[in-house]
Structure 1
């Protein structure tokens, strides 16, 4: 089974092919992985913006809709993708979650943000 590694937290998860990066992140959220998804993962916002650092050639090309949404994202790079749109194939992926997405996650989970701030955690991780 392929795995997705989230380098921000050095966490990996094995997933079935066809699982999105966002779904993989939700499986390991309790281990610190934070990927925003304000629209619920329907390609209507850019809060699940990630960088596919390894394995990008093994996934489908972005749709025109995804490219349009990425135009609204911050710090877009050649390996930028929306976590809700990238389905894992048969190969492992290494993903970096954008600071924009981590911030969005904390905005969506204010209680967790307040707890992390009280502990002095770096919220940009």
Structure 2
């Protein structure tokens, strides 16, 4: 089972986290299952950018980026070349290291 390492985040994971996740599970589901309260305003349907993560290690092992996800990522705060929507990125057989951005843009709240 692949391991996900979450880098420290001041609010969501102050000490960081390391846990196993089943293949084909979304990164968002894996985070939520492991008590990391990742925002996901659209209910994980890829219609917002609140669950944006930066995949520091293992980016190339994830499922392909879809057109809708690419469009939504354009709205994400702190977009990086290895950014993904955690609700759309599926765990493969490889370990991942993810960084949770400091902020999110939730257009429903703002």
Structure-1 separation of matches of 2:102 and 2:39: 10
Shift in Å at residue 17 of structure 1?
0.3
Structure-2 separation of matches of 1:35 and 1:59: 19
Shift in Å at residue 99 of structure 1?
1.5
Q: TM-score, normalised by structure 1?
A: 0.75
**Partner of residue 12, structure 1:** 18
Structure-2 separation of matches of 1:98 and 1:34: 13
Q: What is the root-mean-square deviation in Å for CA atoms of aligned residues?
A: 1.6
Shift in Å at residue 61 of structure 1?
2.2
Structure-2 separation of matches of 1:61 and 1:14: 22
Is the 8 Å Cα contact of residues 17 and 90 (structure 1) preserved in structure 2?
yes
Question: Structure 2 stretches of 5 or more lacking a match?
Answer: none
Structure-2 separation of matches of 1:67 and 1:58: 17
Question: Structure 1 stretches of 5 or more lacking a match?
Answer: 108-125
**Partner of residue 123, structure 1:** none
Size of the alignment, in residue pairs?
101
Shift in Å at residue 15 of structure 1?
1.2
Q: Which has the larger radius of gyration?
A: 1
Shift in Å at residue 39 of structure 1?
0.6
Whether 1:72 aligns to 2:75 is yes
User: Among 89, 93, 98, which residue is 1:90 paired with?
Assistant: 93
Higher fraction of helix: 1
Shift in Å at residue 89 of structure 1?
0.2
Q: TM-score, normalised by structure 2?
A: 0.85
